Amino acid sequence: MEIAPGAVHVPGWLGLDQQRELVAACRAWATGPVPIRHTALPRGGVMSVRTVCIGWHWRPYRYTRTADDVNGRRVAAFPDWMVRLGRRAVLRAYGDEAAAAAYTPDTALINFYDGRARLGMHQDKDEKSSDPVVSLSIGDTCVFRVGNTETRTKPYTDIELASGDLFVFGGPSRYVYHGVPKVHEGSADPATGLRTGRLNITMRVTGLQG
């Protein structure tokens, strides 16, 4: 379902087995070289969401190879199987074989939300590439707010993102403001392997080298 030009929502794209495998992979990354943490914000304070990064380490306004704001270690590699998953996601969303084959994500931000976590309206502009962002949701359902490219306020559309949902943001929607104002705590099927909370994986192309 196309929510806006280039913004495609595919409910239930991931099967339960695939969700379980992703939960297991994310658990390993969360306790990997750079453990999952509340990202420090530049003006003090921390995000309520917890994040672990692979491929490149993200903090507000930049990507680096080493997590200099955490423990200085290099983050885990971005696996080839996730590149292939990203290509399948782009193919499913746009039906464009060439766009899918060319898509080569090199980083993912893995966000974990407990029932109180929120993500304020923001744009993702730290990547030097305008290639699509692929989002995979597992666990509790959330309210996802999709806005416009001009302001962090109205007009916006609220939709629900549930476990297994795919969302691809590309083209004219790549720089829309978006956020997560609410997580429906306890709404998930524990069979995903996540007893509570919400997991979101966003694959991106940093456009960086080295």
C-alpha to C-alpha distance for 32 and 44, rounded to whole angstroms = 25
Residues 123-142 as x/- pattern, contact with ligand MD3 by CB under 6 A: -x--------x-x-------
Residue 163 binding ligand MD3, by CB under 6 A:
no
C-alpha to C-alpha distance for 15 and 3, rounded to whole angstroms = 22
Contact 122, 179 (CB under 8 A): yes
Shortest reach from residue 58's CB to ligand MD3, in Å: 9
Contact 152, 122 (CB under 8 A): yes
Contact 208, 56 (CB under 8 A): yes
Residue 174 binding ligand MD3, by CB under 6 A:
yes
Shortest reach from residue 209's CB to ligand MD3, in Å: 22
Residue 109 binding ligand MD3, by CB under 6 A:
yes
With contacts defined by CB under 6 A, name the span among 20-28, 64-72, 89-97, 175-183 that binds ligand MD3.
Answer: 175-183
Residues that bind Fe ion (CB under 5 A): 124
Helices (H), 44-145: 80-94, 97-102
Q: Which is nearer to ligand MD3, 59 or 178 (CB)?
A: 178
Cis preceding-peptide flag for 181 (omega within 30 of 0): no
Question: Could you say which of Fe ion, ligand MD3, none residue 163 binds, taking C-beta under 5 to 8 angstroms by partner kind?
Answer: none
Shortest reach from residue 35's CB to ligand MD3, in Å: 18
Question: Could you say which of ligand MD3, Fe ion, none residue 138 binds, taking C-beta under 5 to 8 angstroms by partner kind?
Answer: none
Residue 169 binding ligand MD3, by CB under 6 A:
yes
- For residue 55, CA distances in Å to 114, 123, 153, 180, 191 come to 24, 21, 32, 24, 28
For binding to ligand MD3 (CB under 6 A), which residues are involved?
A: 109, 111, 119, 124, 133, 135, 167, 169, 174, 176, 178, 180, 200, 202
